[in-house]
Structure 1
Amino acid sequence: MVTLYQYWKDLTPDERKKFCSDVGASYNYMESHLIHGRKKPSMEKIQAIVDASNEKLTHKGLFDFFLNKESAA
């Protein structure tokens, strides 16, 4: 299962900017907090991340990632 971190690293710089725009998060916030799991996003933000990834990321995968469960690795 792909993690948010892996997904982010596979995006081009332009794809990252579009992803942030689609999610409704600034590039700096995404880069500093979300892709490293330092902050836990709201349920609405989780849904926006799933939608912006065209469902390459899943709710379960994101929950595991942000809760630091081993299955996310």
Structure 2
Amino acid sequence: MITLYDFWRGLDKDQRIKFCETAKISYGYMESHLIHGRKKPSMETVQKMVDASNKQLTHESIFDFFLNKSSVA
């Protein structure tokens, strides 16, 4: 199961921009907050990320990513 961080790092800059546009998430917010687990997305944003990833990300992988980040801190 691919993590949000690994998915994001596997994209080139143009793909990241396209992903953010499709998911309606600002590039800066994604880069500085979400992929580092500093902020937790809404359920609506999680759905948009799953859809924008062409199903490479799953709800489960995103939930695990953010739940594991909060339990480590």
Q: Tell me if both proteins adopt one fold, taking TM over 0.5 as the criterion.
A: yes
Give me the identity figure in percent.
65
Structure 1 gaps of 5+ residues are none
- The residue that corresponds to 1:28 in the other structure is 28
Question: What SS class does the counterpart of residue 38 from structure 1 fall into?
Answer: coil
Distance 2:64 2:9 in 1: 18
Deviation, structure 1 residue 30: 0.2
Question: What SS class does the counterpart of residue 67 from structure 1 fall into?
Answer: helix
RMSD: 0.9
Structure 2 gaps of 5+ residues are none
Please tell me the residue identity of whatever aligns with 1:17: I
**Count of paired positions:** 69
Distance 1:24 1:35 in 2: 15
Please tell me the residue identity of whatever aligns with 1:2: I
- The residue that corresponds to 1:56 in the other structure is 56
TM-score normalised by the chain length of structure 2: 0.91
Matches within 5 A, 1:1-73: 1-68=1-68
TM-score normalised by the chain length of structure 1: 0.91
Deviation, structure 1 residue 65: 0.4
Deviation, structure 1 residue 43: 0.3
Deviation, structure 1 residue 9: 0.4
- Give per-residue Cα distances to partners, 1:24-61, cap 9 Å, x unaligned: 11111000000111100000000000000001000011
